[in-house]
Structure 1
Amino acid sequence: MKHYSYEEWLQYVKDEMSDQNREQLETHLYTCDQCLELYLQAMAENETSLPILSNQSSFTDLVMAEVSNMVPDTVRNLNTVSMVPLVPDTQHVEQKASKKKSWYQQAGFHYLLAAAATLLLTFSGAFQSLATYAKSIETPIQVQEKKPSVTEGVINKTFAWMDSLEKKEANKK
């Protein structure tokens, strides 16, 4: 893997290289942590030369609104951030915000639907049958009778042998 020098990353940050080289450096950033550190250092050094955002508080909201307006193919083919305009149309964003969602897209409707489904399953006994089924799985079914251990078998045979000896001695007397 070829790593790029700090000077090359400075040229990238200052936009002093060809588009083909820019694309190579951008794709390399996705796979190389070492070069990402160099890129971040170059960005920090040239931070004062970067443009200052006016209205920083709503910048993220405006960018996200523009991204949501993009066609999905455009988003998939998006290689650089340069396709997103820095100053989106605020009038369009305000119009979209003023549109009201339909009743079935509201969060309250989804909560009511979940509550109704829970009550239906509770009163129909579905949860009870699930609990019974889970309990039956937890406890193993004992099909075979309990076999005595080897030690118990030896002890039982010894006692039986001793009892038979006592009977023989009692019959002799």
Structure 2
Amino acid sequence: MNHMKYENWLKYVRDELNEDTREQYENHLYRCDHCLELYLKAVEAIEFQTLEIAESSNFTDSIMKQLTELKTPEKKKRKKISHKQTIVHYFVAAAVTLLLMSTGVFTNLMNMASSFENSEQKQADSFVQAFLNKQGSFTNKFEEILKEGEHNE
């Protein structure tokens, strides 16, 4: 079995290999315990290096310097709505309301709503009335049958 070198496992951990090679290394890890140990050592070494970098004051200073060098996005200027504009909006809303009231739009809407309610009530009444009529005719027929039965005896 061909064992991979420690340096190659370091490249694997740093993600410096192409996709096909990475896949071959992954498949090899499933079969080879020796290479698995090398891989784990490479992971530990990389973690140790990143910890050293993160703990150094130069690292922190360099990150802070990069952050200050970044351009801060310009804040969009918000349009300030003046009190005059707000008052104008209220006057426009009041004028539209008065216009709609004077033309009778609201009255027509109320009439339409009540006509819908009346038609629904009529349909419900007609259903109940039809049911009672059928019930009444059924009881009438039943009474006739009983009377005929009494006459025949």
TM-score for both structures, normalised by structure 1: 0.28
**Greater Rg over alpha carbons, structure:** 2
